[in-house]
Amino acid sequence: MVQPTSAPRNARARAREELTREIVETARIHLTSDGAAGLSLRAVARDLGMVSSAVYRYFPSRDELLTTLIIDAYNSLGETAEQAEAAVKRTDLNGRWLATSRAARNWAVERPHEWALIYGSPVPGYQAPQETVVPATRVTSLLIGILIDAYTTGQTPTPLPVPRAVHASIAPVRDDIPQGIPDDLIIRGLMAWSQLLGVISMELNGQFHNVLTDTDAYFQTAMHRCAIDLGIS
Amino acid sequence: MVQPTSAPRNARARAREELTREIVETARIHLTSDGAAGLSLRAVARDLGMVSSAVYRYFPSRDELLTTLIIDAYNSLGETAEQAEAAVKRTDLNGRWLATSRAARNWAVERPHEWALIYGSPVPGYQAPQETVVPATRVTSLLIGILIDAYTTGQTPTPLPVPRAVHASIAPVRDDIPQGIPDDLIIRGLMAWSQLLGVISMELNGQFHNVLTDTDAYFQTAMHRCAIDLGIS
DNA sequence: CAATACCGAGAGCAGTGCTCTTGACAGTTG
DNA sequence: CAACTGTCAAGAGCACTGCTCTCGGTATTG
């Protein structure tokens, strides 16, 4: 009885699954063209030839649909980055970092609205539920893996002092990584991560207008310098 | 006739100015509590005891009102940062950088929605007009000033190589700074700037949840390390 | 004083998220 | 087979949004 009563319910259940997927797909299309704020349940319903109220059978609210899109976006980005990173030789830490960061940027440039959804200003009135936490960590886990390998192979930069308050502040990070990683390396990792997010977001938000003519070239150099700071270049 | 015809027109004109200011003020209150997407012209009008259509006599569209709020935000942040920076001894480059960055963060933490308005994901469908360009540069001008002083007093880090493509890419920056500043220093300045924006935005967007317990301590250290990288520590 | 420009109020249009009710259908049970 | 139950799409409706247009009154100007 572990198996769900399968045969008879499947007809309905399958139709439901399919329609749910169609709604999400249509919503993502709207998202990529109009952004999160322009995502309209009614418009999605119209595209699917159904009436707006029918959509509420599948998603109890607009926010619920947004949550699905957010999780999908995290997973899409995470998978893209993981594949890029996995294609690099394990010992090439610099290459792994560059592959990861470049994959993230390419993904973001292709889907600016989905990037904004997960790393941009939060949608007002929307509270990210717990289910989004795990997929959100996929990219950072890659970075952590690189740092761990850097530490275990002894490729660490000469550490700068870390104030006591900062040592205490990064306590939550310690729960997710092996013991022994120095504070300094964690700080460098966090700063590389915020550099990555910062540069990508600035590019997408148009902050480099009248500043850079070739954002890609700048990005590569910036990430290269991050690698130097991390001691893996 | 350079003076505007003053006396008789003033009664109406003054009332208009005052009401315009009241609308902006009310709009900013709504902005700080609900965010840009929740800014409703009708709600503003309601608060002011007038009918929604009357507001259109003062702002031809919601976007026009948003533009005013954006310019005000840029100027508010710019002024705050300028004052903080001006209070530091000119020769203390490290102090000037720390004062500027700390002022920016404090301002952002107090007004997260206004920060999101100017540095967050752009409001969909809204195109920032030319008038926003000048006030937007006030904070970066401070940073540029520090870098120029660093260069003229010889406090520059040992430069890393800068690829040709990046040299070409930063051409627009060169139009706003004196000749002679090395490419490497410009790159370092840009990266410090994106580090600053990245860390602040990440904190406001909740990206440090379950990562840092004391974001202020981390921020100070991160900015200190930026100063080291800039060679002004 | 008369003409003009300005202004607030109101109605109205098209759109939004969301709720509630209604009628049709499918699957299960007596 | 008939009755029941759960699910579904559809429609009407509420309160809200940005925005436009018209109307009548008032302040400013020639």
Angle, in degrees to the nearest 10, between helices A93-110 and A112-119 = 110
- A126: pLDDT confidence band, cut at 50, 70 and 90? confident
What is the reported pLDDT for B9?
58
* A120 Cβ under 8 Å from any chain B Cβ: yes
Q: Please count the CA atoms within 13 angstroms of the CA of B45 that sit on its side-chain side.
A: 15
Output the distance from A11 CA to C26 C1' rounded to whole Å.
Answer: 10
Mean pLDDT of A43-64: 92
For the ranges A37-51, A62-76, A126-140, B187-201, which has the lowest average pLDDT? A126-140
Instruction: Tell me if residue B50 falls in helix, strand or coil.
Output: coil
Q: Are residues A195 and B195, on separate chains, in Cβ contact within 8 Å?
A: yes
A5 pLDDT higher than 70: no
Mean pLDDT of A145-166: 96
Rounded CA gap, B71 and A15, in Å? 51
A13 pLDDT higher than 60: yes
What is the reported pLDDT for B10?
73
What is the reported pLDDT for A1?
32
Phi, psi of A210 (to 5 degrees): 65, 20
Rounded CA gap, B109 and B59, in Å? 29
Contact A176, A148 (CB under 8 A): no
A8 pLDDT higher than 90: no
Q: Name the nucleotide nearest B125; use CA and C1'.
A: D18
A114 pLDDT higher than 50: yes
Q: B143-182: string of b/e by CB count within 10 Å (b at 16+)?
A: bbbbbbebbeeebbbeeeebeeebbebbeebeeebeeebe
- A122: pLDDT confidence band, cut at 50, 70 and 90? confident
Rounded CA gap, A131 and A70, in Å? 10
- Which of strand C's nucleotides are less than 7 A from any protein C-beta? 6-12, 15-21, 26-28
Nearest to A185 by CA among A174, A201, A195: A174
Average pLDDT, chain A: 92
Q: Are residues A205 and B120, on separate chains, in Cβ contact within 8 Å?
A: yes
Distance set, CA A111 to CA A35, A195, B43 (Å): 10, 19, 33
Rounded CA gap, B87 and B114, in Å? 25
Residue type, A190: L
A186 pLDDT higher than 70: yes
Residue type, B137: T
Rounded CA gap, A123 and A37, in Å? 8
Distance set, CA A232 to CA A14, A98, A149, A223, B229 (Å): 50, 11, 10, 12, 17
Contacts of B228 in chain A (CB under 8 A): 160
A7 pLDDT higher than 70: no
Top mean-pLDDT range of A25-39, A86-100, A121-135? A86-100
Mean pLDDT of B177-188: 96
Angle, in degrees to the nearest 10, between helices A62-86 and A7-34 = 80
Angle, in degrees to the nearest 10, between helices A138-152 and A62-86 = 30
Angle, in degrees to the nearest 10, between helices B112-119 and B93-110 = 110
Nearest to B83 by CA among B151, B139, B135, B132: B139
Mean pLDDT of A3-28: 73
A61 pLDDT higher than 80: yes
Output the distance from B25 CA to D26 C1' rounded to whole Å.
Answer: 27
- Judge residue A126's burial from the number of C-beta atoms within 10 Å of its C-beta, 0-12 exposed, 13-18 middle, 19 or more buried: middle
> Dihedral of the CA atoms A144, A146, A150, A156 (nearest 10)?
-60
Contacts of residue A31, defined as CB under 8 A and 6 or more positions apart, other chains included, come to: A39, A69, A113, A114, A117
Tens-place pLDDT, residues B42-74: 999 999 999 999 999 999 999 999 999 999 999
Output the distance from B66 CA to C3 C1' rounded to whole Å.
Answer: 37
Query: Would you say the C-beta of A9 is within 7 Å of strand C?
Result: yes
What is the reported pLDDT for A130?
82
A6 pLDDT higher than 50: no
What is the reported pLDDT for A10?
61
Q: A142-177: string of b/e by CB count within 10 Å (b at 16+)?
A: bbbbbbbebbeeebbbeeeebeeebbebbeebeeeb
The protein side of the strand D contact, defined by CB less than 7 Å from any of its atoms, consists of A 12, 16, 19, 49-54, 57-58; B 5, 8-12, 39-43, 52-53, 56, 60-63
More confident: A46 or B5? A46
- How many of the other CB atoms lie within 10 Å of CB of B55? 22
A125 pLDDT higher than 60: yes
What is the reported pLDDT for B12?
77
Output the distance from A8 CA to D5 C1' rounded to whole Å.
Answer: 16
- A151: pLDDT confidence band, cut at 50, 70 and 90? very high
What is the reported pLDDT for B7?
42
What is the reported pLDDT for B95?
98
B199 pLDDT higher than 80: yes
B205 pLDDT higher than 70: yes
Structure tokens at A73: 């976006």
Residue type, A184: D
Tens-place pLDDT, residues B1-38: 333 434 445 777 888 999 999 999 999 999 999 889 88
Structure tokens at A100: 């990861």
Tens-place pLDDT, residues B112-158: 999 999 999 887 777 778 889 899 999 999 999 999 999 999 989 99
